Amino acid sequence: MNGDTPRHPNSTVAPQDDYPREACGIVGIYSEGEDVARYAFFGLYALQHRGQESAGIASSTGDGINLRVSMGLVGQAFQEEDIARLPGHIAIGHTRYSTTGSSAINNAQPICSVSAAVNLALAHNGNVINALDLKQELSLWGCEFNGSNDSEIIAHLLANAPGLNWQERIAYCMRRLQGAYSLTVMTPTELLGIRDPLGVRPLCIGKLSNGWVLASESCAFDHIGAEFIRDVEPGEAVLIDADGIRTIYKRPPDNGRVSAGCVFEYIYFARPDSVIEGRSVHSARAAMGAALSNVDPIDADLVIGVPDSATAAAVGYSQESGIPYAEGLVKNRYVGRTFIQPDQQLRDLGVRLKLNVLPEIIRGKRIVVVDDSIVRGTTTPHVVNLLRRGGASEVHLRICAPPIISTCHFGLTWRQKPELIAANMTVDDIRDYVGADSLGFLSHEALVNAVGLQRNSLCMACFTGDYPIPVQLEMDKLALEV
C-alpha cells in the first residue's frame, strides 16, 4: 500500500446545527483499460452532501493498493497530481461525516487491511452497534488499530474472517456484524459491494460503457456518464472483476423483515435527483409537502421552503393547498466548508451565516414555512425570528417528518434523548419555544404513503422507538478512541 501525507491535517468542523448528519458517501468503480480514480473523484463530488469532514480514494492496477486520504471536502482533498498518483482500473472512494470516532485523519477512509488471505481497502456507510465487542475480539486475533471507528473493525473482520473464499468470509461477517453497513471493498483484482441484511443504508449499481459502478446514490452515476441499473439488495454481496458483475452471496434478514431502509434518506439525506428503491427522492418530498397541506390547514399568503432539502416539499405544499410558492430564504451553501472559523461576534449571528431572508418577498405576508425536520430545536427559533425581522406578519411552521423522539444507532448523529426536543416537549410547547404562530408535523402514515413503500420495509425508529435491530446499549461516538 502506498500512502500520501494529508493536505489538511488540522481541519475543524463547523458547530453542530439543528439538522441531522449522516455517516458518509461511498463509490466503487471497475473499468478495464482505464484509470478510474478520476471517476471516483467525480462520484464523490456528487455525494459531497453526505459528508464533509474527510475524503479518500484507493486504487489498483492489479498489483497492490494505492491510497490517498485527506481532511476536508473532496475538492480540497484532491488536486490533479493526486489523481495522477492513483493509477488503476479499480477504485473505491469515501467522503465522511463521523458517527463513530472523531473527525481526524486516522479515521479517514478508505481503510486498508492486510491478512494472510487478502489485501483489501474498504469504504463504509453506516454504524455497527457491536463494534466495541468486535474490536476486543479482533485485538486478541492480533489485529492492530490505527483509528477509532467501526469501519476499521469491519475491514479487519472481513480480511481475517475464516473461509476459503469471499462467500464464506462475507457470510461469517454478516453473522457477526450488527447494525448498518453498506460497503465498497476492493482488492488488487476485484471490487465488491456489500449491504447489510436489512439494507438500512442505500447502495446501488450503475453501468459504464466498459465497466461497473457502485455508489450510495444514483445521482453519482449521472456525473460520470453511468446508467443506473438497480439497488444492491439487502443482504446481498456483488463481485465485479474481469468476468463482469455477479451476486456471490445473499443473506435473508434474521427477524423476517424484508428490509429497513432509513426513511431519512427520503426526508433529508439523499439528493433530490437520486432514486432509492425505485422511488424518486424529489417525488417523495413533493408528496410529503402535499400531505402537509392537509395537516392543520391554514389561511396564508405564501409558502416558502427552508433550502435546500425542503424546497420540493414546499412546492408540493403550494400545489396541493393553492397558496403561492416563493423563495423567501436564501442559503449560503459554503458556510461551514472553510478552515477559517468565525469569531464569537460572527457566531452570535447564528443562522444568518447560513440563511438570509428576502424582505421584499415576505414583508407583510402570512408565511407557511416548510422544513424537513426539527431535531434539537437549536436552529428553528432563529429561522422564525429571521422571518419576523424580515417583515412576515405570521409564521406557520410545517415539518416533513413526524416528531423525533428516539435515538438513532444506525448512522445518524443524534444519540441521546435529552438532545431531542420532541422527546421532551409537546407540539404546543415546541411551537411556543420556536416562536411560530402554528406548528404541524407529518404523521407516520402520511410519511409512509409519501415515500411509497411498505411501512415494514422502512426504519422509522427515530419516530417510534421500534428498532429493526435489537439495541441493548447505546455506544458513545468516541467509545473506540484509543
Paired residues of 459 in beta bridges: 262
Cell triple for 219: 445521482
pLDDT classification of 309: cutoffs 50, 70, 90: confident
* Residue 462 in marked binding region: yes
Nearest to 112 by CA among 121, 103, 101: 121
* Residue 262 in marked binding region: yes
Model pLDDT, residue 98: 59
* Residue 371 in marked binding region: yes
Counting the structural domains of the chain, the total is: 2
pLDDT classification of 2: cutoffs 50, 70, 90: very low
Q: What is the mean pLDDT of residues 40-64?
A: 95
d(CA 361, CA 369): 13
Helices (H) and strands (E) in the chain, counts: 16, 23
3-state secondary structure 141-175: CCCCCCCCCHHHHHHHHHHHCCCCCHHHHHHHHHH
* Residue 143 in marked binding region: no
* CATH code for position 72: 3.60.20.10
How many residues are present in the chain? 482
pLDDT classification of 6: cutoffs 50, 70, 90: very low
The string of DSSP letters for 427-454 reads: HHHHHHHHT-SEEEE--HHHHHHHHTS-
Region of poorest pLDDT, from 152-166, 257-271, 272-286, 350-364: 350-364
Contact 180, 130 (CB under 8 A): no
Instruction: Tell me the average pLDDT of the chain.
Output: 89
Whether residue 252 is found in the same domain as residue 355 = no
Whether residue 339 is found in the same domain as residue 397 = yes
pLDDT classification of 41: cutoffs 50, 70, 90: very high
Domain end call among 260, 291, 313: 260
pLDDT classification of 349: cutoffs 50, 70, 90: low
271 in a domain, yes or no? no
Which amino acid would we find at residue 205?
I
Whether residue 145 is found in the same domain as residue 255 = yes
Kindly report the CA angle at 95 between 94 and 97, in degrees rounded to 5? 130
d(CA 40, CA 200): 23
Whether residue 250 is found in the same domain as residue 300 = no
- pLDDT tens for 416-473 read 788 899 999 999 999 999 999 999 999 999 999 999 999 999 999 999 999 988 875 5
Residue 173 known to be catalytic: no
297 in a domain, yes or no? yes
Whether residue 229 is found in the same domain as residue 150 = yes
Whether residue 233 is found in the same domain as residue 330 = no
pLDDT classification of 351: cutoffs 50, 70, 90: low
Model pLDDT, residue 347: 55
Entry pTM:
0.88
Task: Assess whether pLDDT exceeds 80 at residue 87.
Answer: yes
Q: Higher confidence at residue 102 or residue 40?
A: 40
Side-by-side strand order, sheet with 111-114: 111-114, 119-128, 179-186, 191-195, 236-241, 244-250
Whether residue 140 is found in the same domain as residue 41 = yes
* Residue 219 in marked binding region: no
Whether residue 384 is found in the same domain as residue 445 = yes
Domain of residue 387, residue span? 278-452
* CATH code for position 444: 3.40.50.2020
Half-sphere exposure of 441 (CA within 13 A, CB side): 18
- pLDDT tens for 9-19 read 333 333 345 65
Domain end call among 200, 233, 260: 260
Contact 246, 257 (CB under 8 A): no
* Residue 372 in marked binding region: yes
Whether residue 200 is found in the same domain as residue 170 = yes
pLDDT classification of 103: cutoffs 50, 70, 90: low
Task: Assess whether pLDDT exceeds 60 at residue 476.
Answer: no
3-state secondary structure of 217: coil
* Residue 408 in marked binding region: yes
Whether residue 212 is found in the same domain as residue 312 = no
Whether residue 199 is found in the same domain as residue 293 = no
pLDDT classification of 360: cutoffs 50, 70, 90: very high
d(CA 144, CA 323): 60
Q: What is the mean pLDDT of residues 111-117?
A: 95
Cell triple for 18: 439543528
User: Which of 24, 112, 173, 400 is flagged as catalytic?
Assistant: 24
